[in-house]
Amino acid sequence: MKTLANLTAIENQLHQLLETDKPIKLNCNESPFDLPQTLKDTITSKMAELSWNRYPDFQQTDLVELLAHSVGLKNENILLGNGSSQLIQQIINCCSKFVSEVIIENPTFTLYHQICQNERLNYKEWHLNENGSFCIENFPTVSEPSIVIITSPNNPTGAVLPKNELETLLQTYPECIFLVDEAYGEFANESSIELIHKYSNLLVLKTFSKGFGLPSMRFGYVAGSKILIDLLRKHTIPFTINVFSELIVRESLTNNSFSRIIKTNQERIKNLRDFSCYELSEIADKTTFSVNTSQSNFLLLRFNDTSLLNEIKEIFAAKNITVSFPITDCIRITIGTEVEMSKVLKIIKQCVNSFKVSCQEAILNTLSVY
């Protein structure tokens, strides 16, 4: 009965949304699902009990312990940050003192290029395959100690570097520091975090902005060997985590109903992603566009025809749908709600159908000349 009521509610929302052009935001890889008001109210009342006149705990011992426990590591292996972006800056800044080069994938999260340029660090690019996957044979030549940055799942392609291939690289280049950015790790099938027990040159970066759906909290952490974490700690400014973020992150790990909501939302997004990918691959072909499976909360569509891409861009803009264009000829679509995805898929299908019809008409016109 409950499922039926849910379905009716979704159907009603779908009708409403198809009628209106209410903004749909699918450009920042955020979760489309906010927390229930009752949960927000419970946490807000706990916030009111905190001492707002005091600095947060300097060491953040409780939170570090909770996180370390959740990933099977020790407190000494964890360093917290104000979002993973702040940690990316801190790690590259720290490593720039003793490495002369950075290896980054192409394509990747643009912040990496920006920070390397700011730090005046040379970078070599590891080019991914046309379908967005990693190709270990393309790994650039490394001649000096470097920092190797791997976003896995990759943003914007959604591909994961298999753990055995990461291990091959870690073993081949023990003099390099590997930073594996698992910002989208909760949507993937595997994590490299357990390799920290085995490789002291590995750092794994985590955020609460994507899989936990809490980008407003600005919270992330980096896990790694004691020696690397101690080194990074020397470059930390005090009190980067405020008491409110600390409280919410702690609640998300210890309050069962909060954890359940997070897990359910992750599963819902993964199902919607796979369903949307399937629907799109059914209409994709070499004249229109391609889409690859993703282990993230977004899909990357690569267009083979610019007029089709422009048509979709224009309709999205007219209908208030914001997506992102991280690389030429591509659209990256963050997975939204069922209703939002239904609207997006409908637009793409309509554009592709009318494109195919106009191509057929053009062929018939050409033939009729002969």
Ligand X SMILES: Cc1ncc(COP(=O)(O)O)c(C=O)c1O
Binding site for ligand X (CB under 6 A): 29, 83-85, 109, 151, 155, 181, 183, 207, 209, 215, 220
Which one, 105 or 338, has the nearer CB to ligand X?
105
Instruction: Output DSSP code: residue 285.
Output: B
Which one, 26 or 339, has the nearer CB to ligand X?
26
Sign of the dihedral through C-alpha 339, 340, 341, 344: positive
Nearest to 135 by CA among 156, 106, 155: 106
CA-to-CA distance for 262 and 98, rounded, in angstroms? 39
Which one, 180 or 312, has the nearer CB to ligand X?
180
Nearest to 206 by CA among 315, 90, 84: 84
Amino acid (one-letter) located at 327: I
Half-sphere exposure at residue 86, Cβ-oriented, CA atoms within 13 angstroms: 21
Task: Give the nearest distance from C-beta 277 to ligand X in angstroms.
Answer: 19
CA-to-CA distance for 326 and 334, rounded, in angstroms? 12
Task: Give the nearest distance from C-beta 125 to ligand X in angstroms.
Answer: 16
Task: Give the nearest distance from C-beta 107 to ligand X in angstroms.
Answer: 11
Tell me the Ramachandran region of residue 213: left when phi exceeds 0, alpha when psi lies from -120 to 50, beta otherwise: left
Task: Give the nearest distance from C-beta 207 to ligand X in angstroms.
Answer: 3
Which one, 151 or 252, has the nearer CB to ligand X?
151
Which pairs from 34-41 meet CB under 8 Å and 24+ separation? Answer: 34/213, 35/213, 35/258, 35/261, 36/261, 39/257, 39/258, 39/261
CA-to-CA distance for 249 and 85, rounded, in angstroms? 17
Task: Give the nearest distance from C-beta 281 to ligand X in angstroms.
Answer: 24
Which one, 146 or 151, has the nearer CB to ligand X?
151
Task: Give the nearest distance from C-beta 328 to ligand X in angstroms.
Answer: 19
Which one, 31 or 276, has the nearer CB to ligand X?
31
